[in-house]
């Protein structure tokens, strides 16, 4: 397991511990007790950042457990059994935007989020390609670190250091590598190519998703065009061109 999450979490945890120590010390609390309470506060923050599922993100997106979608359930189960993936919890967001997201913590099952727009506009081959791509991301990319980055920015949205720590956590992860892994996994790159074309034909915007968690999504969830690159996502048209060259 990468040490980056622990290094990053130490920064806000120590900062909180120091603030609690100073405030309580100035308030007349005995220094030994102030130190103890500061450490407890810092450890509690570290635990929340590393271990606690970020239900606030799912709530902000309006995500609910997926039910009544046997095709999705069968495809996910088949991919999990065939390729040995960690089986995710699957949630759905009621949105016309065609998109998907991933959440995870250092422990526990990851969460795969699908929009109703994605489910309605993709055929079985396209949907399987997207699911394979997302499950490959869970296997190959530290999704827990990406989720932690979103937590940090939500915790302190106006603090530039939080965004720097998020970028450090993301490292060199990029959409092109994830697309390649997903396409090669099912041994049919045209499937994912067509799926991304289907996304590009409509909107990938998802209401309630802010810039702090945009990097968790398959395509940019903001109001941008398919040919527009952003800080978190290359343009869909560029990704489609890349897949056609595989």
Share of the chain above pLDDT 90, in %: 41
CATH of region 55-244, choose from 3.30.750.24, 3.90.380.10, 3.30.2010.10, 3.40.50.1100: 3.30.2010.10
The model's pTM is 0.76
Confidence of residue 105 (pLDDT cuts 50, 70, 90): low
Q: Where are the chain's structural domains?
A: 4-51, 55-244
Least confident window among 79-93, 133-147, 171-185, 205-219:
133-147
CA 206 to chain centre: 14
Confidence of residue 241 (pLDDT cuts 50, 70, 90): very high
pLDDT of residue 172: 47
Angle at 110 between CA 107 and CA 114, to 5 degrees: 165
Please state, in angstroms and rounded to a whole number, the distance separating the CA atoms of residues 149 and 153: 6
Mean residue pLDDT of the chain comes to: 83
């Amino acid at each position: 397991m990468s040490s980056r999450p622990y290094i990053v979490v130490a920064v806000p945890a120590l900062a909180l511990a120091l603030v609690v120590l100073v405030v309580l010390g100035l308030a007349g609390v005995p220094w030994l007790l102030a130190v103890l309470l500061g450490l407890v506060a810092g450890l509690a923050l570290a635990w929340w950042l590393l271990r606690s599922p970020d239900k606030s993100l799912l709530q902000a997106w309006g995500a609910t457990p997926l039910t009544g979608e046997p095709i999705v359930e069968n495809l996910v189960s088949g991919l999990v059994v065939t390729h040995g993936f960690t089986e995710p919890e699957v949630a759905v967001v009621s949105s016309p935007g065609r998109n998907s997201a991933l959440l995870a913590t250092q422990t526990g099952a990851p969460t795969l989020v699908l929009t109703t727009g994605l489910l309605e506009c993709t055929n079985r081959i396209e949907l399987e390609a997207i699911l394979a791509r997302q499950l490959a991301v869970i296997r190959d990319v530290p999704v827990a670190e990406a989720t932690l980055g979103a937590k940090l920015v939500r915790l302190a949205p106006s603090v530039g250091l939080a965004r720097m720590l998020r970028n450090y956590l993301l490292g060199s992860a990029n959409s092109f590598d994830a697309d390649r892994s997903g396409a090669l996994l099912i041994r049919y790159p045209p499937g994912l190519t067509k799926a991304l074309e289907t996304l590009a034909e409509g909107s990938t915007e998802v209401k309630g998703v802010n810039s702090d968690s945009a990097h968790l999504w398959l395509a940019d969830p903001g109001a941008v065009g398919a040919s527009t690159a952003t800080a978190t996502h290359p343009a869909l048209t560029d990704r489609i061109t890349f897949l056609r060259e595989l």
